[in-house]
């Protein structure tokens, strides 16, 4: 069975790559061992947002009186919340099935393994193996929850994100190890549902990749919501022999024993590069990543890799962009390498976090003379009217040329606002151009203009 392009893996990197390849006139096949859409659509980005929406609605009901409303009786049905999340994921996966048919992409279910000579062996659930070949093979096998040696996951008392989405019963207490996006999103969801949540973070700040001002504001918000936060701390070992879990946590003050029903390990991800034939083909890897050039070609001609298996941010939108760029280069189109310095990152807890570019600390370390502007949502009419006045927008500009170096937001809806900064930075927009771009009133987006104005001492509303 011969194709122009075979994509191994159907996550947001793989299926998008396949569609773009088909649009460019290639005969395309995609190999998937489980469900179309990969982790993102089935066990990651999409179902978690469904869970978080249920948590948001539940929080609104709890605070109905803040809006002049009286709700006498309400409760949650944890099973129904989980079921809704699964239904949303299944619907999205079916949507990808439709897109495959629409774009005449052949879907081959089974476990794929690349072979020399631009071939892939696909083994189905019955053990039958089919050999495929193509001029171009694109590896997009994604990643899974990373396990620490001292925190082995048993799938019941010590779990990863996948189990956290389908727990049969709501736990009364939970320890979340790691405060990156995955950790804090689940911490927020379970806390909103009524679970007693403790976050254990090894670094000095929660969401440690974010600007320090954002991290500090977010920690205040977590504590305000009733979540216990332990920074500069690490889980040394867990005891699952009893009814629940006993976690030994090393802190700056010494060791503590924490007890909970469940421990959620959210300490990062591990690339799926084992047992897919890389060694047999001779494809170079380094520290859990497949090595590629700026067009995602490996060291072996005809083999490419994109997404979580290559260096760069492990984000769905990055994988999609890499895949599109990869096949457009294969098709002979003029393409520009991806600018990894202008990739937005989003965290969908409450409040949301969104950022792009350099943090204030990173900008100073790079030697920039900077102008920093900050506008709090407490001064935003839209934020106050909607009852979501926590947070701020922070912008960083190069003082000499006005280049927009970084943008960091925390607050309601900021994950939808960050695209303005991404596009503006792509177009090399200056701070003054942002100030003079009229923003609609009343909106949360005005805060971007006001923050830029604050950087140049022109702010109106604070």
pLDDT per position as a tens digit, 80-130: 999 999 999 999 999 999 999 999 999 999 999 999 999 999 999 888 999
pLDDT surpasses 90 at 1: no
Mean pLDDT across the chain:
96
pLDDT per position as a tens digit, 182-196: 999 999 999 999 999
pLDDT surpasses 90 at 59: yes
pLDDT of 214: 98
With beta carbons less than 8 A apart as the criterion, state whether 4 and 313 touch.
no
For residue 458, which of 389, 397, 403 has the smallest C-alpha distance? Answer: 397
Taking the domain 158-267, which CATH number applies? 3.50.50.60
pLDDT of 17: 98
pLDDT per position as a tens digit, 245-257: 999 999 999 999 9
pLDDT per position as a tens digit, 280-310: 999 999 999 999 999 999 999 999 999 999 9
Q: What is the mean pLDDT of residues 43-54?
A: 94
pLDDT surpasses 90 at 53: yes
pLDDT of 251: 96
pLDDT per position as a tens digit, 14-31: 999 999 999 999 999 999
Let me know if 136 is a catalytic residue.
Answer: no
pLDDT per position as a tens digit, 376-434: 999 999 999 999 999 999 999 999 999 999 999 999 999 999 999 999 999 999 999 99
* Helix 181-193 / helix 212-224 crossing angle, nearest 10 deg: 20
Residue 354, strand partner residues: 346, 409
Q: What percent of the chain has pLDDT over 90?
A: 97
CATH for 2-145+270-340, options being 1.25.40.850, 2.40.340.10, 3.40.190.80, 3.50.50.60: 3.50.50.60
Distance, CA of 140 to CA of 135 (rounded, Å): 16
pLDDT of 127: 85
The topology under which CATH files domain 351-455 is Enolase-like; domain 1 (3.30.390)
For residue 88, which of 132, 137, 117, 51 has the smallest C-alpha distance? Answer: 51
Domain map (residue ranges) of the chain: 2-145+270-340, 158-267, 351-455
pLDDT of 54: 97
CA 25 → CA 125, 327, 448, 461, distances in Å?
A: 31, 11, 42, 53
State the catalytic residue, choosing from 136, 317, 439, 441: 441
Q: What is the mean pLDDT of residues 119-147?
A: 95
Two domains, one topology: 2-145+270-340 and 158-267: yes
């Amino acid at each position: 069975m011969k194709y122009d392009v075979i994509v191994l893996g159907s996550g947001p990197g793989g299926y998008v790559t396949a569609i773009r390849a088909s649009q460019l006139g290639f005969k395309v096949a995609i190999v998937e061992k489980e469900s179309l859409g990969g982790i993102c659509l089935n066990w990651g980005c999409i179902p978690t947002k469904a869970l978080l929406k249920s948590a948001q609605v539940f929080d609104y009901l709890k605070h109905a009186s803040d809006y002049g409303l009286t709700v006498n009786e309400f409760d949650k049905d944890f099973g129904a919340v989980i079921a809704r999340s699964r239904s949303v994921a299944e619907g999205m996966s079916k949507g990808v099935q439709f897109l495959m048919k629409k774009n005449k992409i052949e879907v081959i279910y089974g476990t794929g393994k690349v072979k020399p000579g631009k071939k892939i062996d696909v083994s189905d659930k019955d053990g039958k193996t089919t050999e495929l070949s193509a001029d171009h093979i694109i590896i997009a096998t994604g990643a899974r929850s990373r396990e620490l040696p001292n925190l082995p996951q048993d799938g019941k008392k010590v779990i990863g994100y996948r189990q956290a989405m389908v727990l049969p019963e709501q736990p009364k207490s939970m320890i979340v190890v790691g405060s990156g996006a995955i950790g804090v999103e689940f911490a927020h969801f379970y806390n909103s549902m009524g679970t007693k949540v403790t976050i254990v973070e090894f670094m000095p700040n929660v969401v440690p990749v974010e600007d320090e001002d954002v991290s500090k504001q977010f920690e205040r918000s977590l504590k305000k919501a009733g979540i216990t936060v332990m920074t500069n701390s690490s889980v040394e070992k867990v005891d699952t022999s009893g009814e629940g879990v006993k976690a030994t946590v090393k802190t700056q003050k010494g060791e503590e024993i924490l007890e909970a029903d469940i421990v959620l390990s959210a300490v990062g991800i591990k690339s799926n590069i084992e047992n897919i034939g890389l060694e047999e083909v001779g494809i170079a890897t380094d520290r859990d990543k497949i090595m590629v050039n700026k067009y995602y070609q490996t060291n072996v001609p005809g083999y490419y890799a994109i997404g979580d298996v290559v260096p760069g941010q492990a984000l769905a939108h990055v994988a999609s962009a890499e895949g599109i760029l990869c096949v457009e280069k294969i098709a002979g189109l003029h393409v520009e390498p991806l600018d990894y310095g202008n990739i937005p990152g989003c965290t969908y807890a409450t409040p949301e976090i969104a950022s792009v570019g350099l943090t204030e600390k990173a900008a100073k370390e790079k030697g920039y003379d900077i102008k920093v502007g900050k506008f709090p949502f407490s001064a935003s009419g839209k934020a106050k009217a909607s009852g979501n006045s926590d947070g701020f927008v922070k912008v960083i500009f190069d003082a000499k040329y006005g280049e927009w170096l970084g943008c960091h937001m925390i607050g309601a809806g900021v994950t939808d606002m960050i695209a303005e900064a991404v596009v503006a930075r792509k177009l090399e927009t200056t701070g003054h151009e942002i100030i003079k771009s009229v923003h609609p009133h009343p909106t949360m987006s005005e805060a971007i203009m006001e923050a830029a104005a604050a950087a140049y001492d022109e702010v109106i509303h604070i």
